[in-house]
Chain A
Amino acid sequence: MTAPRFLAALLLAAGVAGCAATGNGAVTTLTPERAVQAIVVGTSTRADIERAFGQADVTRFANGYELWLYQVGYAKAVDGIPYVNLVVSSADNRRELTILFDRGGVVRKYRLMDRTP
């Protein structure tokens, strides 16, 4: 692959990964109070969460747990793209919602985080 094509591929990858918000966009306006109602630890299932927030970036672990991530800004995928990750990072995102499911697919923990300037 020539250098310009490689660069174009990286930029395209960054563009694809850099969508505005994961899921249906509900996380953009989510408040801590509404999160408590929408995400019930020990009760809410994957289906409940997908209905409320749409499709997440999913990480499955060897221990059977599953992590769902909603980000406003760049998707986490950009952090692993060589050279592109020197310029942009999902660490700079304005907001993210992380939900941990146990082996039975029920919410075990969640975290709503706004970036501190």
Chain B
Amino acid sequence: MHQGANDVTPIDVKRLLGRLALGCAAAACLGPAAASGQAAPAIPVVEVLGAAQPRDEKPYRDLLAALDTVERQRRLAPAATLRFKVWPRREDVDMAGLEVRIVGPHTDIPVALAADRTFAIPRDAAAAADNATVRFNRKAGSLAWRADVRSPGVPANARRLGDLMLECAADVKGDLFAYLHHPINVLLSKLDEPCRTVPLNLFNFADRPVFGITLVAGERRSMLPAAFLHGDATVPFPGHEDWLAQRERVYKVKFKALYDAGWPDDTLLVFDFMDEETP
């Protein structure tokens, strides 16, 4: 697996301390023998050359759970494809040379990463049994992960509500969002259809910086308020958020409220991007 030079530490402190502790225990065992004047056996020298820091990764089984959820709720977007996508979680994350693999004790499967940083996850029973992870060659906390569900025929400046609902379900079931693992949040993720059942505050990323979003279903139109765009003004736990570096693309969809108000799956969210003329 490719590892950038900045991803490797000279010394893994925890492992070093562990070895020091083992070394002390060994010395304590040898102490009486040494005191009795017997020749001490040679102690092999272990040289710690370095160890990789934790990678940005997700359990393979979690991503399979996301796939399963999409299949169960396929009615929302019958012709859609599911991929996953990553975004830089901080502005200083270098996305050049990004690679992803499915790895485990007996697993090493390369995953094709598209130019738009999307990828598909193959089903592999052996990898699941191997407790594998889907791992990027970046330090933990570098990336924001999202499901990417796209139905054919949707205009480039729009997203389909049913697709976004499926993305939400996959994100929650796949534990892709970085959020506080508060008991309430964990409980919500166990619901069968959490995005439809409770008014979750989850952040999506538009393809480009967005100024406004209009819901369109036939003749019916409604603009999303500023409250649902560009993230929250106050962020109490920034270390638990994964959207801050994408603020100009961020939007929220209140699925429960929209579906309760009768907006259909085929509703389009039409984006007014910052860098183009208003439609």
User: With A and B bound together, what is the CA distance between A77 and B272 in angstroms?
Assistant: 23
Asked whether A71 lies within 8 Å of B226 as measured between CB atoms, the reply is yes
Q: List 12 A-B contacts (CB under 8 A).
A: A61-B247, A61-B248, A62-B245, A63-B274, A71-B226, A76-B232, A90-B225, A90-B226, A91-B227, A96-B225, A113-B223, A116-B222
With A62-B247, A63-B209: A108-B226 Cβ-Cβ less than 8 Å = no
Does A53 belong to the interface (CB within 8 Å)? no
CA distance A55 to B187 in the complex (A): 42
Nearest CB of chain B from residue A32's CB, rounded to whole Å = 14
Report yes or no: B209 in contact with A89, Cβ–Cβ below 8 A.
no
Residues of B contacting A91 in the complex (Cβ-Cβ under 8 angstroms): 225, 227-228, 254
Does A76 lie within 8 Å of B211, measured CB to CB?
Answer: no
18 more CB-based (< 8 A) A-B contacts, given A79-B232, A109-B272: A59-B230, A61-B209, A62-B247, A63-B248, A67-B211, A69-B226, A76-B226, A77-B233, A79-B227, A89-B227, A90-B227, A91-B228, A96-B225, A98-B211, A98-B226, A109-B211, A111-B212, A115-B225
Query: Contact flags (1/0) for A57-93 with B, using CB distance below 8 Å?
Result: 1010111010101010001110111100100011101
Q: Is the CB of B274 within 8 A of A108?
A: yes
Contact B234 A80 (CB under 8 A): yes
In the complex, the chain A residue whose C-beta lies closest to that of B254 is: A91
A79–B278 CA distance with the chains assembled, in angstroms: 27
> Which chain A residues border B234 with CB–CB below 8 Å?
77, 80-81
B227 touches A76 (CB 8 A): yes
Q: Residues of B contacting A61 with CB < 8 Å?
A: 209, 230, 247-248
How far is B272's CA from A98's CA once the two chains are assembled, in angstroms?
Answer: 13
Chain A residues, Cβ within 8 Å of B245: 62
Indicate if B131 sits at the interface (CB-CB under 8 A). Answer: no
Determine the chain B residues whose CB is within 8 A of the CB of A106 once the complex forms.
none
Minimum CB–CB distance from A50 to chain B (whole Å) comes to 18
Identity of the chain B residue whose Cβ is nearest the Cβ of A93 in the assembled complex: B225
Bound-state Cα–Cα, A76 to B247, Å: 15
Contact present for A65 and B248 (CB under 8 Å): yes
Q: Pick the most buried of B211, B223, B226: most chain A CB atoms within 10 A of its CB.
A: B226
Complex CA–CA separation, A71 to B233 (angstroms): 13
Is chain B's binding surface mostly helix, strand, loop or mixed?
A: loop
Residue B5 CB within 8 A of the other chain: no
Q: In this complex, what residue of A is CB-closest to B201? A: A85
Contact B233–A57 (Cβ < 8 Å): yes
**Residues of B207-242 whose CB lies within 8 A of A:** 209, 211-212, 222-223, 225-228, 230, 232-236
Using CB atoms, name the residue of chain A closest to B225. A91
CB of A100 within 8 A of chain B? yes
Chain B residues in 8 Å Cβ range of A89? 227
The distance in angstroms between the C-alpha atoms of A76 and B252, with both chains bound, is 14
Q: How far is the CB of A71 from chain B (nearest CB, A)?
A: 7
Q: Does B91 contact A (CB under 8 A)?
A: yes
Give Cα A76–Cα B236 distance, bound, in whole angstroms.
14
- Could you tell me the distance in whole angstroms from the C-beta of B251 to the nearest C-beta in chain A? 12
Closest to B234 in A: A80
B222 partner residues in chain A, CB cutoff 8 A: 116
- Chain B residues positioned under 8 Å from A75 (CB to CB): 233
Please measure, in the bound complex, the distance between the C-alpha atom of A89 and the C-alpha atom of B254, giving whole angstroms. 12
Whole-angstrom CA separation of A26 from B209 in the bound complex: 29
Known: A61-B247, A62-B247. A98 touches B274 (CB 8 A): no
Q: Chain B residues near A71: list those with CB within 8 A.
A: 226
User: Which residues of the partner chain A approach B228 to less than 8 Å between Cβ atoms?
Assistant: 91
| Bound-state Cα–Cα, A109 to B277, Å | 9
A62 and B226 contact, Cβ closer than 8 Å, known pairs A80-B233, A85-B201: no
Quick check: A98 and B212 within 8 Å, CB to CB? yes
